Amino acid sequence: MPKSLIVIGAGMASGRLLEHLFEAGGDWQVTLFNAEPRGCYNRIMLSPVLSGEKTYDEIVTHDDAWYAAHGVTCRFGEKVAAIDRAARTVTSETGEVLAYDKLVIATGSQPFIIPMPGHDLDGVIAYRDLDDTERMMALAPGARAVVIGGGLLGLEAAAGLHARGVDTTVVHLMGHLMERQLDAAAGYLLRKELVDRGIKVRCSTNSRQILGQDGQVRALQLEDGEELPCDLLVMAVGIRPNVALAAAAGLAVGRGIHVDDRLCTSDADIFALGECVEHEGALFGLVAPLYDQAKVLAAVLAGEDDAAFRQKELSTKLKVTGCDLFSAGDFAEGPGREDIVFRDPARGVYKRLVLEKDRLIGAVMYGDTADANWFFGLIREGRDVSDMREMLIFGPAYQGGTGADPLAAVAALPADAEICGCNGVCKGRIEAAIAEGAVDLGGVRAVTKASASCGTCTGLVEQVLAATLGDAFALPVAQPVCGCTDLTHEDVRRLIKSHPLKSQEAVWQELGWKTRNGCHVCRPAINYYLLADWPLDYRDDPQSRFVNERNHANIQKDGTYSVMPRMWGGMTNAAELRAIADAADKYGAAIKVTGGQRIDLLGVRKQDLPAIWADINAAGMVSGHAYTKGLRTVKTCVGTDWCRFGTQDSTGLGITLEKRLWGSWTPHKVKLGVSGCPRNCAEATCKDVGVICVDSGFQIGVSGAAGMDVKEVERLHDAATEDETVEWIVAFLQLYREHAKYLDRAYKWTAKVGLDWVRAQLADDATRQALVARFDLSQSIYQKDPWAERATPEAARRFAPMADLTLEAAE
């Protein structure tokens, strides 16, 4: 007499269980309940169905004929209402009572829906079953969809929607995509690939509510109030095991239904498997362990005593066509763990292996996953890899061979091998240039253009030089920015423009930074380059600024700050002086008259900064930027207003210049002077930019210095009018902003590029006017008083300690 087996849930786990059960030949009378009105299909292949690469019929694993052939009674579209353990029966939702000898619960999981306002609107769905998939497939091309969740499922949904022509945005709470499976570097490459395809991706983004109209979803509103309009909203933020039925029957449940190694619940006749179970504290969302469970449970039901389920290392692959991505094991950083990293940003390849005690414990790969299974095997075997460590990351093909010599590899390239992709220069052309007399990179670049565009092939060109010239070629000793990279400042600036790179993360990842997020040397430089080149796309990062620029005041040796308001062209008035005097009294500041014709308030405590700024703002003054790599002062003499020798309104011109230039960030500090006659009372001839007024007009000098070096300015241009003077000075500073190395004063920069080159650039009307236009565009973003922005109570809070524990009781 066959025994009665009731299975609740026809998912992938129970489907596989039945296969094994019938293979073993046991005598079972099986009844299969399923809440979905269909049998078992391959749920993980829903993504290809969504993207149109497969049809539903192709992913059905068990059809009616199969169930019939095995005598399975199918009750699809019918839920089980209750389990009576004492009577060993289940009650269906229609009220029918069926007896069982053994019961298998395979109720799976349900998607977690964030209970934010609007989650019950029509058009808000999860991504779980065929119904959800069909809902997404019903969207017309050009419709808009938002996917909340940048994990495996969310991205597959987004890629599928995008493939159907839907305008898709992914909103993800964490800093990078698939943070559970990928590290930041691989997450970055994945994001780039998706964005390049046209999928919009918003990381570190929190949602506030879902907005609707007539009960239908209209938009997702983000934490900052921004609305993302959508016709469909997919939530893919995680799953929860379905435990309600088991819990109601009094079985032990935690997050999932508790099972032992034999998949047995707290009732000896009831088993559970799949996404609804919890085994040794773990839940299961991937298919591999589910299939393992199915195998073990079939053996247990067949009476095998030694069958036991063991958790194994898992690996993940993203099923998005064209995104090759793999992760396995544990790849978190930790003490005693070592990384082996391979990057080829230009090809979009990234591989990272994590080793602990000479064993491979984790792997993340992006772009090239051909060796993934071999690495996964090493992780599972827990094998000692110390003997193959050197070549490990290159995969199985390189084991046991000798180390590759890059120079030999280049020497072996045929003459028609392409070296520079941008300019289509092959190896033979470079060798010809060398034969014609080129001896260094500059020489090759000048005649062939190789490496002159994006610069990625610079190393290759140098290797061709080395291979051709032998010892006659000395690799140039270019000073890299810092230990985080081998690139020079000039390389980085060029690559930021040519790639283009518009975020620090993009610079770190695409230029192969060796550190996670730079250091105190490169971060301020990169931050400056990005904001100077991309004023509209990049936003200044205060955490990449030195303390003075972050706090908008100069830190003093005792940890207090100095506060210096702007005095336009060195002019002030009685009301301003009173306000400064009052502020000095109120905050206990010392007063110093500076060399830049303004007044410094010294000894202000950090937590008082927002208040003193508010007081100074109230008197009509703004920050003097005495702490920035930016415009400091414009020193003037009294000019024709008062002086009997004055030839022009030097004070007025100084004020005009200062009002145009203030607030701009520059590679290093910039000081100006405007003197009304050649007696030069404003000391304009040792400034970064100095103007000497004469009867016939204005002599503009640049690149003076009066610090560590003392240097007189060199004449840039003689201008006839004030307007012409201002235009040339603005254009000069913009050229400096766009080209100089961070922390080079103007005189160091012009010494490198040559003042002739600078003059030639500025003498061209179109070039000069374009420089002015770019400067003004940048000023539309950055010419704002930083003090006024930080004098608000919310901003001011950040200047105070987070907490004061001195007030707590001692214990």
Say if residues 423 and 452 touch (Cβ distance below 8 Å): yes
**∠125-130-136 over CA atoms, to 5°?**
50
Q: Which of residues 780-799 bind other proteins (CB under 8 A)?
A: 798
Whether cis (ω within 30° of 0) applies to the bond prior to 500 is yes
And the tokens for 209? 């509510």
Which of 157, 92, 162, 93 has the alpha carbon at shortest distance from 129? 157
Q: Is the dihedral of CA 525, 528, 532, 538 positive or negative?
A: positive
Q: Which of residues 331-390 bind other proteins (CB under 8 A)?
A: 335
Say if residues 673 and 655 touch (Cβ distance below 8 Å): no
* Per CB under 8 A, 287 contacts other proteins: no
- In whole angstroms, give the CA distance from residue 640 to residue 316: 76
Q: In the complex, what is the shortest distance from the CB of residue 793 to other proteins, in angstroms, rounded to a whole number?
A: 14
Q: In the complex, what is the shortest distance from the CB of residue 334 to other proteins, in angstroms, rounded to a whole number?
A: 10
Instruction: Pick from 34, 293, 551, 651 the residue near other proteins by CB under 8 A.
Output: 551
Secondary structure of residue 518 in the 3-state scheme? coil
* Per CB under 8 A, 213 contacts other proteins: no
Instruction: Pick from 27, 57, 416, 811 the residue near other proteins by CB under 8 A.
Output: 811
* Per CB under 8 A, 512 contacts other proteins: no
* Per CB under 8 A, 52 contacts other proteins: no
For 22-53, the three-class secondary structure string (H helix, E strand, C coil) is HHCCCCEEEEEEECCCCCCECHHHHHHHHHCC
Chain Cα centroid distance, residue 620 = 40
Number of residues that bind other proteins (CB under 8 A): 33
Nearer to other proteins, 29 or 548 (CB): 548
Nearer to other proteins, 184 or 694 (CB): 184
- In whole angstroms, give the CA distance from residue 93 to residue 18: 24
* Per CB under 8 A, 316 contacts other proteins: no
Known binder of ligand: residue 643?
yes
* Per CB under 8 A, 77 contacts other proteins: no
Nearer to other proteins, 347 or 520 (CB): 520
* Per CB under 8 A, 150 contacts other proteins: no
Q: DSSP secondary-structure letter at 78? A: B
Instruction: Pick from 520, 574, 793, 794 the residue near other proteins by CB under 8 A.
Output: 520
Q: In the complex, what is the shortest distance from the CB of residue 527 to other proteins, in angstroms, rounded to a whole number?
A: 10
And the tokens for 476? 């140039």
- In whole angstroms, give the CA distance from residue 488 to residue 92: 72
Chain Cα centroid distance, residue 129 = 31
Say if residues 480 and 486 touch (Cβ distance below 8 Å): yes
Q: In the complex, what is the shortest distance from the CB of residue 175 to other proteins, in angstroms, rounded to a whole number?
A: 5
| Residue that is written with structure tokens 């298919």 in the block | 287
Say if residues 136 and 232 touch (Cβ distance below 8 Å): yes
- In whole angstroms, give the CA distance from residue 560 to residue 547: 12
Nearer to other proteins, 179 or 491 (CB): 179
Which of 83, 73, 238, 93 has the alpha carbon at shortest distance from 153? 238
Q: Which stretch binds other proteins (CB under 8 A): 27-35, 241-249, 552-560, 644-652?
A: 552-560
* DSSP β-ladder status, 102-105 and 270-272: parallel
* Per CB under 8 A, 620 contacts other proteins: no
Nearer to other proteins, 435 or 803 (CB): 803
Known binder of ligand: residue 637?
yes
Say if residues 669 and 630 touch (Cβ distance below 8 Å): yes
Site string for other proteins, 154-193 (x = CB under 8 A): --------------------xx------------------
Instruction: Pick from 112, 342, 546, 782 the residue near other proteins by CB under 8 A.
Output: 546
Q: Which stretch binds other proteins (CB under 8 A): 71-79, 89-97, 118-126, 550-558?
A: 550-558
* Per CB under 8 A, 592 contacts other proteins: no
Secondary structure of residue 676 in the 3-state scheme? coil
Instruction: Pick from 311, 386, 498, 515 the residue near other proteins by CB under 8 A.
Output: 515
Q: In the complex, what is the shortest distance from the CB of residue 505 to other proteins, in angstroms, rounded to a whole number?
A: 12
Say if residues 675 and 647 touch (Cβ distance below 8 Å): no
| Residue that is written with structure tokens 């059809």 in the block | 63
Q: In the complex, what is the shortest distance from the CB of residue 798 to other proteins, in angstroms, rounded to a whole number?
A: 8
- In whole angstroms, give the CA distance from residue 742 to residue 96: 79
- In whole angstroms, give the CA distance from residue 179 to residue 161: 22
Task: Please spell the DSSP secondary structure of 606-670, one letter per residue.
Answer: GGGHHHHHHHHHHTT--B--TTSSBEEEEEE--HHHH-SS--S-HHHHHHHHHHHHTT-B-SS-E
* Per CB under 8 A, 503 contacts other proteins: no
Instruction: Pick from 544, 628, 647, 750 the residue near other proteins by CB under 8 A.
Output: 544
Instruction: Pick from 209, 517, 594, 767 the residue near other proteins by CB under 8 A.
Output: 517
Instruction: Pick from 547, 763, 770, 773 the residue near other proteins by CB under 8 A.
Output: 547
Nearer to other proteins, 494 or 606 (CB): 606
Nearer to other proteins, 553 or 634 (CB): 553
Phi-psi region of 357 (alpha: psi -120 to 50; beta: other; left: phi over 0): left
Nearer to other proteins, 38 or 202 (CB): 202
Secondary structure of residue 81 in the 3-state scheme? strand
Nearer to other proteins, 287 or 555 (CB): 555
Q: DSSP secondary-structure letter at 140? A: P
* Per CB under 8 A, 112 contacts other proteins: no
Q: Which of residues 740-769 bind other proteins (CB under 8 A)?
A: none
Which of 564, 568, 577, 713 has the alpha carbon at shortest distance from 651? 568
Residue 21: CB atoms within 10 Å = 23
Q: Which stretch binds other proteins (CB under 8 A): 160-168, 263-271, 551-559, 566-574?
A: 551-559
Q: In the complex, what is the shortest distance from the CB of residue 806 to other proteins, in angstroms, rounded to a whole number?
A: 5
Which of 360, 287, 366 has the alpha carbon at shortest distance from 326? 366
Q: DSSP secondary-structure letter at 2? A: P
Q: Which of residues 558-577 bind other proteins (CB under 8 A)?
A: 559
Residue 663: CB atoms within 10 Å = 21
Instruction: Pick from 362, 524, 639, 646 the residue near other proteins by CB under 8 A.
Output: 524
Axis crossing angle, helix 765-782 with helix 722-739, rounded to the nearest 10: 80
Q: Which stretch binds other proteins (CB under 8 A): 121-129, 411-419, 543-551, 675-683?
A: 543-551
Q: Which stretch binds other proteins (CB under 8 A): 68-76, 441-449, 547-555, 643-651?
A: 547-555
The residue type at 416 = D
Say if residues 720 and 732 touch (Cβ distance below 8 Å): no
Q: In the complex, what is the shortest distance from the CB of residue 170 to other proteins, in angstroms, rounded to a whole number?
A: 17
Nearer to other proteins, 48 or 518 (CB): 518
Instruction: Pick from 255, 312, 516, 784 the residue near other proteins by CB under 8 A.
Output: 516
Known binder of ligand: residue 519?
no
* Per CB under 8 A, 37 contacts other proteins: no
Known binder of ligand: residue 454?
no
Q: In the complex, what is the shortest distance from the CB of residue 524 to other proteins, in angstroms, rounded to a whole number?
A: 7
Q: In the complex, what is the shortest distance from the CB of residue 802 to other proteins, in angstroms, rounded to a whole number?
A: 4
Instruction: Pick from 555, 565, 567, 626 the residue near other proteins by CB under 8 A.
Output: 555
Instruction: Pick from 213, 402, 479, 543 the residue near other proteins by CB under 8 A.
Output: 543
Nearer to other proteins, 176 or 671 (CB): 176
Name residues whose C-beta falls within 8 Å of residue 736's C-beta, 6 or more positions apart in sequence.
666, 667, 670, 746, 749
Which of 648, 369, 710, 366 has the alpha carbon at shortest distance from 509? 366
From the annotation, which residues make up the binding site?
637, 643, 677, 681
From the annotation, which residues make up the binding site for siroheme?
681
From the annotation, which residues make up the binding site for [4Fe-4S] cluster?
637, 643, 677, 681
Residue ranges that bind other proteins, judged by CB under 8 A? 174-175, 204, 335, 515-520, 523-524, 542-547, 550-551, 555, 557, 559, 798, 801-806, 808, 810-811
